[in-house]
Structure 1
Amino acid sequence: MTKRKPLSTVVAESLAEKIRSGQLQPGAQLPTEAELCAEYDVSRTVVREAVARLRSEGMVVPQQGRGMFVSETPAPRNFSIPDEALRTLPETIALLELRLSVEVESAGLCAERRTDEEASDIRSMMEQIDAQQADPAAVQIHYDYDFHLAIAKAARNEFIHGFLAYLGPMIVPRFRLGYVVEPALKDSYYARIHSEHKAIVDAIERQDGSKARQAMRKHLHNSLGRVRALARASGVEATDAEQKAAAASLFTKMKRPVSTGG
């Protein structure tokens, strides 16, 4: 006997297919909860669970006070990712979760402690990085890591900056941006990232630690959502065993002596 899918899964899969087929275009607003309840003849709880699943997969995004909208940068359905890259997805997700926990505070401390010169340099770096808008197939997904390091340095906590600098070689050479951004959506993707970066920098310039933390959390949470969506779309699920293996690999690397050059 075949086990029936939960109603929330049925609704989520139906909405996902509408998004993939173009029936719901990028930037389009989802129907209201009441409309979805009527369309699928389900409760509000079922609808909320279905929409939450789509949001976790990066297919829809909230706009405060307006509702849910189809993401302008969904993970492409058809893609080709090398096997060696796929195998690192669980570790990449774990590292992004780690960054989220550290860099939110880093942004807040930067806003509270930065000098005027540092704030100016951070804005200049942002403008330079965001102006490049390279072909997603030729740029790494974490192309803005130097921007994040500059914020960490101005946070006046050498442990935060040193830790993120140490993680850099493990984080940056991961995936091409083209794995999560279709060429036709390149311009809207870069515009969104610039908007996220600008919110962080604006808060840093105003010395508003709370807003800086909030903006950094949103930025990294969106990045994490895109990578998680990539993992789900490619059939890679991070099991407990994979997460433990990823952590063991990371800590093994951290135990190695740091080369001082010569």
Structure 2
Amino acid sequence: MTKRKPLSTIVYEGLSERIRSGQLPPGVQLPTEAELCVEFDVSRSVLREAMARLRSEGMVIPQQGKGMFVSEAPAPRNFSIADEALKTLPETIALLELRLSVEVEAAGLCAERRTDAEADAIRGLIEQIDALHEDPTAVQIHYDYDFHLAIAKATRNEFIHGFLSYLRPFIVPRFRLGHVVAPDVKEPYYARIHAEHMAIVGAIERRDSRAAREAMRAHLCNSLERVRALAFASGVEMTGSDQTVAAAKLFAELKGRATAGK
């Protein structure tokens, strides 16, 4: 007697086949939970189990406040990442979580404290950056870091700006955008990131600190999910000794600077 597959496996296989075949292409939003439950005739708990499996394999990623999307990352066989870079994925994810906690508030403070000249400069900077649409294989994932530093500078809090400036060499050079964005979805990706940037800039220009915080949180959460998807697809654990060693090194350097400044 043939053993029946669990319902969650049937849902997983059905959706993963659509993703692999291109029926659900990279970057497209999946139907809502309610729609998928009706289509597969399963409960929400069964659907969520299947979605968790898809997410664990880097096939789908959530976007805050929008829903679940097919990952834009190329299949693992289509790209290679140096072993040394892969080892830094847990550290990169942890640093993005740290940035999230600092930069959300920085965006709100910037909206409250910026000058008109600074708001104009922030807009001009990100419009220049977003207009490039460079080859994802040749540009860094965090290519917009100067934009984030400009926002931090306008908070009038030198500790925020100094801290994010200090983190730059730990964050920026690690990975290329091509590791998380397939070439055929480059333009939709850049368009979506530009929309995220404009939401932040618009809130800063309106001096709407709440909207600025929300827009920055959405932007960084989306970035974090893309890197997590890369980790899942690459089979890299998001916790481990590498992150511990990296954190100890970073804190030792911070302590050394503080001691030297006394």
> TM-score, normalising length from structure 2?
0.86
Residue identity in the other structure for 1:253: E
Secondary structure of the 1:132 match is coil
Distance of 2:146 and 2:123 partners within structure 1: 12
Distance 1:63 1:161, change over 3 A: closer
Q: Which residue in 1 is equivalent to 2:168?
A: 168
Q: CA deviation at 1:49?
A: 4.5
Q: CA deviation at 1:36?
A: 2.5
Residue identity in the other structure for 1:164: L
Distance 1:255 1:194, change over 3 A: same
Contact 1:58 1:225 in 2 (8 A): no
Which piece of structure 1 moves more, 156-165 or 47-56?
47-56
Q: Which residue in 2 is equivalent to 1:120?
A: 120
1:59 counterpart = 2:60? yes
Unaligned ranges ≥5, structure 1 = none
Contact 2:63 2:222 in 1 (8 A): no
Q: CA deviation at 1:60?
A: 4.6
Q: CA deviation at 1:34?
A: 4.1
Identical amino acids, percent of aligned pairs: 70
Residue identity in the other structure for 1:141: I
Count, aligned residues:
253
Q: CA deviation at 1:48?
A: 3.5
Contact 2:62 2:225 in 1 (8 A): no
Residue identity in the other structure for 1:23: Q
1:236 counterpart = 2:224? no
Unaligned ranges ≥5, structure 2 = none
Distance of 2:115 and 2:91 partners within structure 1: 35
- Aligned positions of 1:208-227 closer than 5 A: 208-227=208-227
User: 1:210-245: per-residue Cα shift (whole Å, max 9, x none)?
Assistant: 000000001000110010000000110123434323
1:70 counterpart = 2:69? yes
Q: CA deviation at 1:5?
A: 9.3
Distance 1:138 1:28, change over 3 A: closer
RMSD of Structure 2 on Structure 1 (CA) = 2.7
Q: CA deviation at 1:108?
A: 0.4
